[in-house]
A and B are shown apart, each in its own frame.
Chain A
Amino acid sequence: MFKRLRGLFSNDLSIDLGTANTLIYVRGQGIVLNEPSVVAIRQKDNTGAKTIAAVGSEAKQMLGRTPGHITAIRPMKDGVIADFTITEKMLQYFIHKVHENRWLHPSPRVLICVPCGSTQVERRAIRESAAGAGAREVYLIEEPMAAAIGAGMPVSEATGSMVLDIGGGTTEVGILSLNGIVYSESIRVGGDRFDEAIISYVRRHYSTLIGEATAERVKHEIGSAYPDKELREIYVRGRNLAEGIPRSFKLNSNEVLEALQEPLSSIVGTVKTALEKIPPELGSDVAEKGMVLTGGGALLRDLDRLLMEETGLPVIIADDPLTCVARGGGRALEMIEEHGPDILALEGN
């Protein structure tokens, strides 16, 4: 009863609990929070008690640069919860952050996007995490669905729409029709794997160790998925394994492209498998209209070109691909409000 009353004063939220970033969409307000999913924990020396030192972008700056008593953790891994308690704390922090109301505990309805390949256990962990963070009701929506809605694809029509969501931890491909998922597949390849691939490439070819943040910067600045006539270069610093001293060296876009071949080919393979498996009628719809790229991975230069060349289908990048899933979740909340929770294939309470 009291929860309902508090719920009256809480806004419905849609949360894209991603491996890299957490986005929160508030019904009627839009995206109000976009922060890295990183939590820094401080451990007291004498008691061993753990407290939250920082959450979000502040904590992300600490990644890999913390002293002994602080640990910066990414509680999500491969799209699912790796550290239950920390995720709960992080969600709690974010939910509080989007509610200015200080004296009434927020108790919102929450819709959370989960990877379509996540297991029951992983879904339950996310659900309980959100409930522990104060959510009144928790709905789960599969990420391809949210991404397609957020991109503005005609998911409610009787026509096939194909979406490829490349997130930080997972890549999801989904073919949707009539508000439901016809086929979906999730692989645990995403932006993080791109970074790892760059790190290992640099170690193999330059005998130099670079950090995740550096690898991410390389990916953002010169990363590409398809050979380009223009060659871009970047200077990076890393620890030379032979000398043990930080050294600066030059990387060019072709090298990064070579480094990214392995994760890229698994993404292409997943897309091709999906196209093989869907019914021909939907396949023809997809071939006619093309597939839509969402998620942060869509910002990798020429990824659409790579997919176009590989599949022979038109590929387009959604507007503002980073926020598609959160926006789609928000739209799904509105659809629930308008038509009831049965409109979408949601997992409710």
Chain B
Amino acid sequence: MNTPVFNRDSQPLESTSDTREFTPIQDTFSPSQSPLPEKKSLLIDEEINEETPSYASGTLKTEFPNDPSSPFYVPNHQPMSTDEGETPSGFTMEPSENTFKLEESDPIPKFEEVPQATFKITKNTPNFTLSGGDSPPISQNLAPTVVATPIIVQPTEDSPSDNNMRPGAYLRHAREQKRLSIQHVADRLYLDTGVIQALENDDYDKLPSAIFVRGYLRNYAKLLDIPKDSIIEAYELLTGQHTLPSITPQNKPKAQASGSDSWVRMMTYAIIITAIVFLTLWYYTTRTTLSLNPNEDPNFDHETTKPLALLPLPETDDDPLLQGENTDYPASLIGLPTNTPPPAIDLPTTPNLTGNTPEVTPGNTAATPPNPSGTPTVPNATDTSPAATPTQGDTRNVKINLKNRTWLKVTDNTGKTLYNGISQGSETLNLSGEPPFKINSGHTEGISVDYLGKTLEMKDLANRKGNNAPIDPAQFTQL
């Protein structure tokens, strides 16, 4: 195949300087009536078909004006035969402002640099009646066929759309150059003659949808050996359709969320900021509560703490009735000395005391246990005066010796916390409160309790009684 020559600076081919003499068709490219602005020059695709004899019959006149201001001025161009005065009976290619765009990979310098040639093909083509389908060459003149294919089209605003280089006109022109009839083309393409006519008239309403039209145009161009792409481009320019229309959706699909969407970002920032704010608040709140209880070690594991001992027990009894009795007990003791407190019976530590009556207690050194509250015993142990003992609100001292580091909590009867914190060990705590006392510690080893003059190891108390076991003050007296 011959590559089309797009020349501006290149020397014209030898063949272009041939005298083109063809008989019937007279195609004249006349550069006259050029409405074009200043710097434009001719760009002609000259397809030289040397192997095949030319079927074209007509005089193709290509004029290259010498006037540089002319739109068809070609630098370095050798003037060709200029047969002035011939009446154009075939196509009149007039300059117009339409430019065909070329995107072939041919060694065109650069498209931008190429001034645009513009043509208008008016459709005053005479109706050819060609004899037969494959018409033999009418002219035996083997002069190279010069097919002027103006394929650089870029519509400018002021050009009326009629002046476009229409693909149909272009095809018709090429077909007539090849001396092919519509019927022949239709036979070769297996299309109706009506379709071919519609294609040549650019009457796309009569044709099926765009994909078929494009296919027909391409097949037609292939049959005529003209570049397919230029036809398709001309068609696209005419119809405003671009390649692969289906790939761009007509209605834009609803955008899907992506990480770069503004609202997604805003949401992310909002969530992060909220999280930071909450974390800070939480941190400071914990700090404040800690500072309120400076003794409490926040790191201490309360799970491991074992409530060890209750000094005296009845508080821990599950029976609320009993507890109620307990609280009332001292008063009732005063008023009703015969009242035997039932809870004392439960105490395994005081089996000898069961059945003891309060009356006995004052005299009995060990008889204090019947008082579950333990209060009466205290006076017995200390000063043995029963009258002084049983009032609530009485405060007693308890001494706790700590050898090892441990957490310790001591509460008295009123629920007041006497001590709560970590002791580093090797210290003695002197606490005073209202008995009975309740001692919880995390580590029983090395804690001894001095109470009512007796010393008991916390370990023993815990072992014997288990968690929350009541510790009877009697122990202190007995042991």
- Are A and B part of the same complex? yes
B190, A308: Cβ atoms closer than 8 Å: yes
Instruction: Give the number of chain B interface residues (Cβ < 8 Å).
Output: 30
Query: Does A181 count as interface, using CB distance less than 8 angstroms?
Result: no
CB contact between A314 and one of B216, B247, B253 (< 8 Å): that residue: B216
From known contacts A8-B257, A338-B251, infer whether A292 and B244 are also in contact, taking CB-CB under 8 Å. Answer: no
Q: Is B256 within 8 A of A290, CB to CB?
A: no
Is B13 at the interface (CB under 8 A from chain A)? no
Whether a CB of chain B sits under 8 angstroms from the CB of A154 is: yes
With the chains together, A11 CA to B219 CA distance in Å? 38
A152/B209 contact (C-beta < 8 A), A290-B190, A314-B219 known: yes
Q: Does A136 count as interface, using CB distance less than 8 angstroms?
A: no
Q: Which residues of B contact A327 (CB under 8 A)?
A: 244, 246-247
In the complex the two chains form, what is the Cα distance from A322 to B254 in whole Å? 27
Residues of A close to B189: CB separation below 8 A: 308, 314
Of listed B209, B246, B255, residue having the most chain A CB within 10 A: B246
A28 adjacent to B219 (CB under 8 Å) = no
Chain A residues whose C-beta falls within 8 Å of the C-beta of B215 in the assembled complex = 290, 292, 314, 316-318
Chain A residues closer than 8 Å to B264, beta-carbon distance = 9
| B166-191, CB < 8 A from A | 189-191
Q: B324 at interface (Cβ–Cβ under 8 A)?
A: no
Question: Which A301-337 residues sit within 8 Å CB-CB of chain B?
Answer: 304, 308, 312-320, 327-328, 330-331, 334, 337
Least distance between B207 CB and chain A CB atoms (Å) = 9
B226-250 contacts to A (CB < 8 Å): 243-247, 249
Q: How far is the CB of A336 from chain B (nearest CB, A)?
A: 10
* A101 is an interface residue with CB less than 8 A from chain B: yes
The residue in chain A whose Cβ has the minimal distance to the Cβ of B1 is A230
Q: How far is the CB of B235 from chain A (nearest CB, A)?
A: 12
A153 in contact (CB, < 8 A): yes
* Nearest A residue to B190, CB-CB: A314
Cα distance A150–B251 in the bound complex, in angstroms: 16
B190 touches A316 (CB 8 A): no
Q: Which residues of the other chain, A, contact B210 by a CB distance below 8 angstroms?
A: 152
A61 vs B243: C-alpha distance when bound (angstroms):
32
Bound-complex Cα distance A101 to B259 (A) = 8
| Smallest CB separation, A132 vs chain B (Å) | 23
Known: A27-B253, A30-B247, A337-B254. A152 touches B211 (CB 8 A): yes
Bound-complex Cα distance A338 to B254 (A):
9
CB <8 Å contact, B249 and A289:
no
Give B211 Cβ to nearest chain A Cβ, in Å: 4
Residue of A nearest to B248 (CB): A30
Q: Is B258 on the interface with A (CB-CB < 8 A)? A: yes
Given contacts A314-B219, A319-B244, is CB(A153)–CB(B211) below 8 Å? yes
Say whether chain B's binding surface is mostly helix, strand, loop, or mixed: loop
One of B208, B246, B252, B255 near A289 (C-beta < 8 A): B208
A290 touches B212 (CB 8 A): yes
B101 in the interface (beta carbon within 8 A)? no
Pick from A12, A101, A152, A315 the residue with the most CB of B within 10 Å: A152
Residue of A nearest to B192 (CB): A288
Q: A102 to nearest B CB, angstroms? A: 10
CB–CB B212/A316 < 8 A: yes
Q: Are A152 and B245 in contact (CB under 8 A)?
A: yes
A334 and B214 within 8 A (CB):
no
Q: Does A76 contact B (CB under 8 A)?
A: no
Hey, which chain A residues are within 8 Å of B192, CB to CB? 288
Compute how far the CA of A304 lies from the CA of B218 in the bound complex, rounded to whole angstroms: 12
Asked if B253 and A319 make an inter-chain contact with CB atoms under 8 angstroms apart, the answer reads: no
Q: A313-B190, A318-B211, A338-B251 are in contact. Are A150 and B246 (CB under 8 A)?
A: yes
Is B244's CB under 8 angstroms from A312's CB? no
The smallest C-beta distance from A289 to any residue of chain B, in angstroms, reads 5
A149 in contact (CB, < 8 A): yes
> At the interface, yes or no: A151 with Cβ under 8 Å from chain B?
yes
Please report the C-alpha to C-alpha distance between residue A337 and residue B251 in the assembled complex, in whole angstroms: 11
Per the bound structure, the CA–CA distance linking A57 and B218 in Å amounts to 31
Are A11 and B218 also in contact (CB < 8 A) when A149-B246, A313-B190 are?
no
Q: Which of A113-150 contact B (CB under 8 A)?
A: 149-150
In this complex, what residue of A is CB-closest to B186? A314
B213 to A: closest C-beta gap in Å: 9
> In the assembled complex, which residues on chain B have CB atoms less than 8 Å from the CB atom of A330?
247
What residues of chain A lie closer than 8 Å to B218, measured between beta carbons? 316-317
List the 3 shortest-distance A-B pairs measured between CB atoms, nearest first: A316-B215, A152-B211, A152-B246
Binding site for A on B (CB under 8 A): 189-192, 208-212, 214-216, 218-219, 243-247, 249, 251-259, 264
A-B contact pairs, 11 of them (CB 8 A): A9-B257, A9-B264, A152-B209, A152-B245, A153-B211, A292-B212, A292-B215, A312-B190, A320-B243, A327-B244, A328-B246
| Known interface pairs A28-B253, A290-B190, A331-B249; 20 further A-B residue pairs with C-beta atoms within 8 A, sorted by A's residue number | A8-B257, A10-B256, A28-B249, A30-B247, A101-B259, A149-B246, A152-B209, A152-B211, A152-B246, A288-B208, A290-B191, A290-B215, A292-B212, A308-B189, A312-B190, A314-B191, A320-B244, A328-B246, A337-B254, A338-B251
